[in-house]
């Protein structure tokens, strides 16, 4: 069993350089006026902007159809952090590793376990991508922890939405709409988060089980209050992570059995650095990487390729052979299989400029998305083409 408070946490993706000193609260650089001026100028000139931070997640989505960039990296620093109230506010250009180091120094963390995909990952990019790590089914997603944001609108105005407390709001909850919007609705300049304490103890287990048996056990364990915060099957064994009180972790470890596993497995899974993901970001001619979001108890679709199961079955990674047919037809077959299983599929391996890696939205939902985009960015200034070719 590992006592997390006695461990120096990792702030970077495996294989990346180590962290610098953390940014202290109320320090850093605030160039929000310059960012507002750049957006105002783009609005007046009917120009478009590619919003970029650390650029570590550029692979996720389509290539932005513009040559003019707006960088948030100069707008950095932890604005406010109250460990007692479990609230932290950071500017969008703040490096994620610096924010997480400041939290860890106070025995706290971003519980949704955001991936970095590179040492320069920023707070703004984390929110824009909306990606969560292996802990998501048990603690929540990025969206669940965002309390408020500051956003530059298409007219160059800096507005605040939400705050530093959880509350219901009327109309658009823009602070959560920005999560996963890939920068298509406005320029994030500041984000307030709810943070959580580090658990007292943890243990990582490996159980030699075939996938069907592993899914059956996970379904049974899911009906009990066990301190599971990670469940993945790599094709050979079931990996389980336990986090919580010392007594609960110890008792559950004894009950589930298996062998002790390396904690490194979970950071490598979060960063897509396990051997399974080799070549994931290359535009390989013979294989493509897909992420399928499915009901946890759904049958694995009958698709050719190698599978890795995460989130207790709710997230399934597929390394699929492209096949001899047209690539577009191959992609359609995978999307249709995911939809038939009750979910959707996202292609992680880069796509060409004509296609989107995301499953097309149903007509009614697409209508509302387009109306929202028209309302918040009527001139199409922000990240044109990032999600779909026409917006």
pLDDT in tens, 194-226: 999 999 999 999 999 999 999 999 999 999 999
DSSP letter string, 207-221: E---HHHHHHHHHHH
306 token code pair: 């190698």
Place of tokens 């984390």: 126
**CA 57, CA 59: separation in Å to the nearest integer?**
5
**CA 24, CA 36: separation in Å to the nearest integer?**
25
Task: Locate the DSSP E strands across the chain.
Answer: 50-52, 69-71, 78-82, 87-91, 108-109, 146-152, 158-162, 187-194, 196-197, 201-207, 228-233, 238-244, 259-260, 287-293, 306-310, 315-321, 344-347
Kindly provide the b/e burial profile for residues 54-92, where b requires at least 16 CB atoms within 10 angstroms of the residue's own CB: bbbbbbbbbebebeeebbbbebbbbbebeeeeebbbbbb
| Residue-range domains of the chain with CATH | 4-197 (3.30.465.10), 200-350 (no CATH)
Between β-strands 315-321 and 306-310, what pairing exists: parallel, antiparallel or unpaired?
antiparallel
Q: What phi and psi, each to the nearest 5 degrees, are found at residue 43? A: -65, -45
Classify 278 as helix, strand or coil: coil
Evaluate whether 381 touches 179 at the Cβ level (below 8 Å). no
- Which uninterrupted H or E stretch holds 80? strand 78-82
pLDDT at residue number 67: 83
Q: What phi and psi, each to the nearest 5 degrees, are found at residue 332? A: -60, -40
For the chain, which residues score pLDDT lower than 50? 1-26, 165-170, 324-326
């Amino acid at each position: 069993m590992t006592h997390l408070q006695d461990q120096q946490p990792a702030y970077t993706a495996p294989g990346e350089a180590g962290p610098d000193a953390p940014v202290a609260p109320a320090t850093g650089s605030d160039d929000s006026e310059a960012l507002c001026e750049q957006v105002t100028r783009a609005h007046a000139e009917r120009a478009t902007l590619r919003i970029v931070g650390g650029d570590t997640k550029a692979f996720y989505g389509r290539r932005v159809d513009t040559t003019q960039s707006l960088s948030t990296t100069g707008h950095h620093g932890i604005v406010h952090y109250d460990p007692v109230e479990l609230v932290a506010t950071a500017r969008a250009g703040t490096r994620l590793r610096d924010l997480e180091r400041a939290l860890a120094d106070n025995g706290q963390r971003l519980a949704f376990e955001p991936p970095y995909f590179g040492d320069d990952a920023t707070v703004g990019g984390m929110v824009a991508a909306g990606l969560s790590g292996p802990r998501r089914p048990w603690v929540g997603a990025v969206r669940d922890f965002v309390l408020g944001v500051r956003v530059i609108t298409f007219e160059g105005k800096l507005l605040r939405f939400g705050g530093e407390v959880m509350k219901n709001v009327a109309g658009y909850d823009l602070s959560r709409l920005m999560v996963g919007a890939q920068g298509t609705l406005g320029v994030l300049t500041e984000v307030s988060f709810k943070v959580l304490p580090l658990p007292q103890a943890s243990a990582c287990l490996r159980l030699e089980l075939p996938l069907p048996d592993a899914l059956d056990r996970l379904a049974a364990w899911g009906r009990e209050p066990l301190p599971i915060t990670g469940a993945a099957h790599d094709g050979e064994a079931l990996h389980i992570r336990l986090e919580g009180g010392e007594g609960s972790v110890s008792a559950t470890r004894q009950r589930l059995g298996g062998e002790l596993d390396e904690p490194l497995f979970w950071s490598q899974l979060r960063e897509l650095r396990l051997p399974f993901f080799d070549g994931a970001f290359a535009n390989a001619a013979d294989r493509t990487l897909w992420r399928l979001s499915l009901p946890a108890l759904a049958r694995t679709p009958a698709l050719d390729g190698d599978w890795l199961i995460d989130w207790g079955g709710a997230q399934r990674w597929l390394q699929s052979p492209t096949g001899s047919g047209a690539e577009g037809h191959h992609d359609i077959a995978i999307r249709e299989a995911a939809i038939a299983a009750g979910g959707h599929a996202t292609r992680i391996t880069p796509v060409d400029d004509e296609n989107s890696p995301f499953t097309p939205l149903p007509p009614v939902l697409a209508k509302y998305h387009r109306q929202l985009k028209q309302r918040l960015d009527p001139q199409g200034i922000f990240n044109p083409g990032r999600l779909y070719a026409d917006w």
